[in-house]
Amino acid sequence: MVSRTTDDYKAMALAGCAAICEPAFWAGFDRKSADGFYDYFCQLTQHEPARAQKLGIPHYSWLCINSKESEDMGLAREVLALIPEFLNAPNVLGIGEIGLNKNTRNEMKILEEHIDLAVKYNQLILVHTPHLEDKRKGTRLILDALKNNPKIEPHRVIIDHVEEHTFKEVIDQGFWAGITLYPESKASPQRAIDMVETISSQRVWLNSACDWGHSDPLSVPKTALEMKRRGHSVQAIDNLIFGNPIQFLSQSKKFVRPEVI
Ligand SMILES: [Zn+2]
């Protein structure tokens, strides 16, 4: 939402979006200093919640340095050191979106340090899986890194951007899966519902790619329409796009079950 207009918030409110959760991500350019991230974390924990509240939408966030910028380990460790002071903010649900971009050794090390941070502060985890390099290999590296930490509870971790070839493995190992919807590339509404129909409708949520690139903040409600067109029941649609995210997010005490219009 940091790269979106207030009109987008309004459209989401009109479409019935009951809550937003926004991960810390790569904002389209590499930030030069930890100070840049400090300001970004203030934006995610103070300014965006206030902007969303004007449209009546609760706004939650996740904090980290994304994998793309964590190739610079010196910068990454400075940013990691900033995170604890923001974890007490009332809208912060956990650590994310952490993960891998090009599956490099430096990215892997910083991923492990984020996992340790989440364990230390008992936080939920949101994971980004690579779009650029081998997604299956990256997903397996991430799942192994999570399982190597004996204190990680898979049901408190969501592995995002799953596709047909990674979804089942994520679910089978006890984690949650996120299907990220894009207008054209990657998971379209049709592909997402194909996956839900053939792989799992449990322990999965849908989310909108909603950034500075070509993306659509209304892709979740549009996918609900696709389910309706295919003859899914109102209950099945509600379970997938509303009940499942609430079930996952309610594992954080800070998440308040939203009222529905
Ligand atoms: Zn991502």
What's the whole-number mean pLDDT along residues 142-147? Answer: 97
- Is the pLDDT reported for residue 189 higher than 90? yes
- Measured in Å, residue 55 CA sits from the centre of ligand 1 at 26
- Measured in Å, residue 231 CA sits from the centre of ligand 1 at 31
What's the whole-number mean pLDDT along residues 190-214? Answer: 95
Return the residue matching tokens 């364990």.
119
Percent of the chain with pLDDT over 90: 92
Beta strands in the chain (DSSP E): 20-23, 59-63, 92-99, 124-128, 157-159, 176-181, 204-208
- Measured in Å, residue 2 CA sits from the centre of ligand 1 at 15
- Measured in Å, residue 29 CA sits from the centre of ligand 1 at 15
- Is the pLDDT reported for residue 220 higher than 90? yes
- Measured in Å, residue 14 CA sits from the centre of ligand 1 at 26
Give tens-digit pLDDT for 74-133.
999 999 999 999 999 999 999 999 999 999 999 999 999 999 999 999 999 999 999 866
- Measured in Å, residue 79 CA sits from the centre of ligand 1 at 18
- Measured in Å, residue 171 CA sits from the centre of ligand 1 at 18
Give tens-digit pLDDT for 54-65.
999 999 999 999
Q: Give ion ligand 1 contacts, CB < 5 A.
A: 97, 128
Q: Give dist(CA 195, CA 205) in Å, integer.
A: 12
Question: Are 146 and 154 in contact, with CB atoms under 8 Å apart?
Answer: yes
- Measured in Å, residue 175 CA sits from the centre of ligand 1 at 17
Fold assignment, 6-249? TIM Barrel (3.20.20)
Q: Give dist(CA 173, CA 33) in Å, integer.
A: 37
Question: Are 94 and 126 in contact, with CB atoms under 8 Å apart?
Answer: yes
pLDDT at 234: 97
- Measured in Å, residue 97 CA sits from the centre of ligand 1 at 6
pTM, entire model? 0.96
